[in-house]
Amino acid sequence: MCGIVAAVGEVDVELCRAMLARIKHRGPDDTGEIHRGEVWLGHQRLSIMDVEGGAQPIANSDRDTYLVANGEIYNHRHIRRDLGHELFETGSDSEAALHALIVDGPVGLARLRGMFALAFMNDDGEFLVARDSLGVKPLYWVRRDEVTLFASELRAFAPADRPLVESFPPGHCWTPSGGLVRFADAVPARVRPARRADVPGEWDEALLKSVREVVVTAVENRMMSDVGIGVFLSGGLDSAIVAAAAASYAERTRQPLPTFAVGAPGSADLEAARVVADFLGTEHHEIVMTPATAAEALPKAVRAIEHYDPSLVRSAVPNLLLAEYAAKRVHAVLTGEGADELFAGYSYFHAEPFTDPDALQAELVRTVTELHHLNLQRCDRTTMAYGMEARVPFLDRDVIELALSIPPEHKMIRPGVPEKQLLREAFAGWLPEDILMRGKEQFGDGSGAKDVLADAVRSMPELAAREGVTLRDRQESVFYAVWHDELAGIRPGATLGMFATT
């Protein structure tokens, strides 16, 4: 929902303000800052919850403790009840994080359920920075002897600092006195799938019900918004399930549900999304992507995602076009990110060596843990480029725990059983049958972006790779040239995988 910048040590206020200005697109509604002693906090606000009263930095009643946050705390109402409503002065979900830290110190981070990157300070000199366990919301830092700097995006940092930029690790908090401490794992340690060698021909109804209910609850928890919310609908299984659950909630609460789809003329994604929208009765919008609009969006997409990997860029271009259009109508959208990693949706999951259940389980855990390097950053950057927040219900902590506790045998393909069959059957009746059985396509392929971009880059300049960088073809060299112009000074691979090409 926002962009944050923080500094502790020898604070250069003008440097910090310049950093904040570089990420104004993340929060076009308001700008706030606070400077106390050796700490500076800055905030660019995208107003979603408590539009009138939720400005940041948010403070306690004594005005001696402050917090800036990017993200959403979905259980903020429960935290209010637990800590006492009398402590709270706004309806902002971020205020729940503030009081959890005031009451419990760093241990209070365990109360928070949601996606967040935050910085906390008080007049006694305490300072803390933290990032959610999956890294859904981005956070980067630079550690110098005299000062430590934090920001939501790489571009925030001055060119002189860019060679020092690192990704702040998910599930960790940092204080000047205690250093870096893990407070949560992406995949809870207690998740241990109950192995079953004999997988039945039909799914147990109790399992299907559990999967359906946990996903629906995650979607409903992410429908909170004071300014409207929509769904990115690709027409694939995952986003269609999210749209179905959101449509059910919107009907019960009597609120509109816009859905947004993008693709080349006649693309499979546009056609499938139209079928889903008609079935659910949503307020559907289509963005038709042409070679001209793709070529125009390409440099913006590379700059937005701060990456040049071809598969990532191919999905980022339609995502950016989608975000540009949708941001004029809603401030937040739901997406289907994470379902393939939890329910074995990618084709390589069903080839050697992952035909072994233990190997498959290990690979699912690995991909979930590493989502913050690529897909989640693409999802965040393309939406926040236009001041819009993306929410990812499949990556709710309860969904992760349930999905990864299911025996991996249940996720394997076999004759008559395609990938993600468990998920398909859990939502039987919620969607048209042809959508439930639609095969997996990469977003860049289903939307037609792959072919459209192949035409668009033919006349664009490319750049030879620097030392330590491998470029696989001319298209990647073109993407790399755009990236290099925007983020010169960043060392590929320096941000824990953010720039690794795979």
Give the tokens for residue 406: 């299911």
Residues 2, 16, 173, 379: which is the catalytic one? 2
Alpha carbon distance 154, 140 (integer Å) = 7
Q: How far apart are CA 175 and CA 55, in angstroms?
A: 25
Helix (H) or strand (E) holding 287: strand 283-288
170 touches 131 (CB < 8 A)? yes
Q: Which residues are annotated as a binding site for L-glutamine?
A: 93
Measured between its terminal Cα atoms, the distance across the chain in Å is 30
Contact predicate 64/57, CB 8 Å: no
Q: Which residues, including other chains, have CB under 8 Å from residue 171's CB and lie 6 or more apart?
A: 131, 132, 133, 134, 135, 182, 183, 184, 185, 186
Q: Do strands 172-175 and 127-131 pair parallel, antiparallel, or not at all (unpaired)?
A: antiparallel
- What residue type is 248 in one-letter code? S
404's tokens: 């990864």
Per-residue buried b or exposed e for 51-88, using 16+ beta carbons within 10 Å of the residue's own CB:
beebbbbbbbeeeebbbbbbbbbbbbeebbeebeeebb
Going by the DSSP 8-state scheme, the letter that residue 490 receives in this structure is P
Sign, CA torsion 317/318/321/327:
negative
Measured on CA atoms in the order 233, 264, 293, 154, is the torsion positive or negative?
Answer: positive
Can you list the alpha helix ranges (DSSP code H) found in 145-287? 205-221, 237-253, 268-280
Structure tokens at 408: 């991996």
Whether 2 is a known active-site residue: answer yes
Q: What is the DSSP letter of 283?
A: E
Q: 257 and 247 in contact (C-beta within 8 Å)? A: yes
Measured distance CA(491)–CA(455) in Å, rounded: 30
Report, in this order, helix, strand and coil percent for the chain, each rounded to 5.
40, 20, 40
Q: Is 305 helix (H, G, I), strand (E, B) or coil?
A: helix
Q: At what angle do helices 205-221 and 397-405 cross, to 10 degrees?
A: 160
Residue numbers in the known binding site are: 93, 262
Catalytic residue list: 2
